[in-house]
């Protein structure tokens, strides 16, 4: 068979297969167009026609008192803390305290070898004694020459020389006395004392270490007064003032509420932010709180009475606005709202616009909801049944008399 004949047969075969496939697609489209439409009201898998809610999913917008609060968070830290440093250099021969121990003001914490400082003090005392002896001798000579000058037995120049020698000796005594004071203080500084009562939080040196002047040996903290540094938006600062009470909860003390007060407000915003630091002081007489614990609290700015409020969990953010889903008769409605005061501790929020008291709302986040769909409340308690001559209806049996629809417009 010639090559040209083979090519023509292949082309004819391909065209025939394409025609068959095109005919099948046309037949399928005509069959789909002729198929009957689904019956009205029939539930399909594409989208639900009824939203089922349980009573636990629903709540009611209430008229109640709500506190307007400003949330504050931060780490606890002692107000008084200090690094105890060595004032003189030398070998550490004693460290009397460890981390966690309580110390009193003036208690001995550590000792540095005092031998060198004792020897220096002895040397300065000897120098002082020699200076005093010289000055006393020169002073006697001055007094004698003063008497001789009055009797004209010596010249004025000779007396002036004696007076100068006495003045120099007196100055040397004062210098020696100052050196003795410094040597005595160095000897006293070899004993490290607690500056005030507190707890040892760090021990940074051990016996045998070589201490240098200004070296950190210990860190002391006073836990009786704690504070929190919290950032507050600059727009809320006008409502913050010293002395305002703050309610706090601390990690690890879930059931306990701590009270604090605004002690200080920073004079300017923190670098790189629009927040201003405020400092909340907390009394901690029982030393329960420790430095570094995380605290979360709220500053009460105002107490609002008789406002419309909903659970915080009912609020949802959609397309840049705050909304609440509610029951409008037997259907679901989407209500844009404006939120006022929020109380995170009690989990209530004030609604200034969009919802009226008594409105049944969806208080839990159930994911995407479609407004306008019918709502069916499942698991709602059945209304009480009238007596039937002492014969109880079987468990789960439906009553003979028609029941009223559940409150809030649930679908039948």
Q: Are residues 267 and 245 in the same domain?
A: yes
Residue 205 inside a domain? The answer is: no
Residue 231 inside a domain? The answer is: yes
| DSSP label at residue 57 | G
Q: Are residues 228 and 257 in the same domain?
A: yes
User: How far is it, in rounded angstroms, from Cα 135 to Cα 141?
Assistant: 10
Supply the CATH number for residue 240's domain: 2.40.30.170
Which range, 152-161, 220-229, 354-363, is most confident? 220-229
Q: Are residues 326 and 358 in the same domain?
A: yes
Supply the CATH number for residue 133's domain: 1.10.287.470
pLDDT at 46 over 60: no
Residue 90 inside a domain? The answer is: no
Domain end marker among 249, 268, 303: 303
Cα 162 to Cα 132, 137, 297: the distances in Å are 16, 11, 80
Supply the CATH number for residue 371's domain: 2.40.420.20
Q: Which residue has the higher pLDDT, 13 or 362?
A: 362
Residue 9 inside a domain? The answer is: no
Binned at pLDDT 50, 70 and 90, residue 138 comes out as very high
pLDDT at 124 over 60: yes
Q: Which residue has the higher pLDDT, 304 or 259?
A: 259
CA torsion sign for 314, 318, 321, 324 is negative
Q: Are residues 286 and 324 in the same domain?
A: no
- pLDDT for the residue 259: 93
Binned at pLDDT 50, 70 and 90, residue 8 comes out as low
Q: Are residues 246 and 285 in the same domain?
A: yes
Q: Are residues 333 and 289 in the same domain?
A: no
By the 10 Å C-beta count (0-12 exposed, 13-18 middle, 19+ buried), 393 is classed as exposed
Q: What is the pLDDT of residues 78-103, one digit of tens each?
A: 999 999 999 999 999 999 999 999 99
The four Cα atoms 208, 210, 211, 213 give a dihedral, to 10 degrees, of 160
Q: Are residues 231 and 298 in the same domain?
A: yes
Residues 6+ apart with CB under 8 A from 373: 48, 49, 50, 51, 331, 332
- pLDDT for the residue 132: 94
The half-sphere exposure of 200 on its side-chain side, counting CA atoms within 13 A, is 24
User: How is 22-42 classified by DSSP, letter by letter?
Assistant: HHHHHHHHHHHHHSPPPPTT-
pLDDT at 181 over 70: yes
Q: Are residues 271 and 310 in the same domain?
A: no
Residue 367 inside a domain? The answer is: yes
Give the residue numbers spanning the domain of 245: 72-78+220-303
How many domains is the chain partitioned into structurally?
Answer: 3
Specify the range with the lowest mean pLDDT, choosing from 243-252, 307-316, 370-379: 370-379
Q: Are 109 and 103 in contact (CB under 8 A)?
A: yes
Residue with tokens 């201490």: 211
Q: Are residues 309 and 299 in the same domain?
A: no
User: How far is it, in rounded angstroms, from Cα 129 to Cα 180?
Assistant: 11
Q: Are residues 317 and 274 in the same domain?
A: no
Domain end marker among 284, 303, 322: 303
Q: Are 74 and 277 in contact (CB under 8 A)?
A: no
Residue 155 inside a domain? The answer is: yes
Residue 353 inside a domain? The answer is: yes
Q: Are residues 135 and 158 in the same domain?
A: yes
Residue 89 inside a domain? The answer is: no
Residues linked to residue 216 through DSSP beta bridges, in sequence order: 85
Q: Are 237 and 265 in contact (CB under 8 A)?
A: yes
């Amino acid at each position: 068979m010639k090559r040209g004949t083979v090519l023509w047969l292949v082309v004819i075969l391909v065209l025939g297969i394409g025609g068959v496939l095109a005919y099948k697609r046309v037949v399928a489209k005509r069959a789909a167009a002729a198929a009957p439409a689904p019956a009205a009201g029939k539930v399909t898998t594409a989208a639900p026609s009824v939203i089922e809610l349980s009573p636990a999913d629903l709540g009611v917008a209430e008229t109640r008192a709500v506190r307007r609060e400003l949330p504050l968070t931060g780490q606890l830290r002692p107000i008084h803390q200090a690094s105890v440093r060595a004032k003189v250099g030398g070998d550490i021969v004693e460290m009397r305290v460890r981390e966690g121990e309580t110390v009193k003001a003036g208690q001995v914490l550590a000792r540095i070898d005092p031998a060198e400082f004792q020897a220096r003090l002895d040397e300065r005392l000897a120098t002082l004694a020699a200076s005093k002896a010289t000055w006393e001798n020169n002073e006697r000579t001055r007094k004698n020459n003063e008497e001789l000058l009055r009797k004209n037995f010596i010249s004025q120049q000779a007396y002036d020389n004696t007076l100068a020698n006495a003045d120099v000796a007196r100055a040397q005594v004062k210098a020696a006395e100052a050196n003795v004071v410094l040597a005595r203080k160095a000897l006293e500084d070899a004993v490290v004392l607690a500056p005030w009562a507190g707890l040892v939080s760090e021990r940074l040196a051990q016996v045998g270490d070589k201490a240098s002047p200004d070296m950190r040996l210990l860190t002391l903290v006073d836990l009786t007064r704690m504070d929190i540094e919290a950032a507050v938006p600059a727009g809320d600062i006008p409502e913050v003032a010293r002395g305002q009470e703050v309610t706090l909860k601390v990690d690890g003390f879930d059931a306990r509420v701590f009270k604090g007060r605004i002690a200080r407000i920073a004079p300017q915003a923190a670098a790189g932010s629009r927040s201003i630091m405020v400092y909340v002081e907390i009394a901690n007489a029982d030393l329960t709180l420790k430095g570094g614990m995380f605290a979360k609290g709220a500053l009460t700015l105002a107490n609002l009475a008789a406002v419309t409020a909903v659970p915080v969990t009912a609020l949802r953010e959609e397309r840049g606005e705050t909304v609440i889903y509610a029951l409008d008769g037997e259907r679901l409605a989407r209500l844009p709202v404006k939120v006022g005061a929020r109380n995170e501790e009690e989990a209530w929020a004030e609604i200034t616009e969009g919802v009226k008291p008594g409105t049944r709302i969806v208080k839990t986040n159930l994911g995407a909801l479609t407004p306008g769909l019918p709502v069916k409340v499942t698991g709602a308690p059945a209304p009480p049944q009238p007596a039937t001559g002492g014969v109880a209806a079987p468990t789960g049996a439906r009553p003979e008399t028609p029941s009223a629809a559940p409150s809030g417009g649930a679908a039948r």
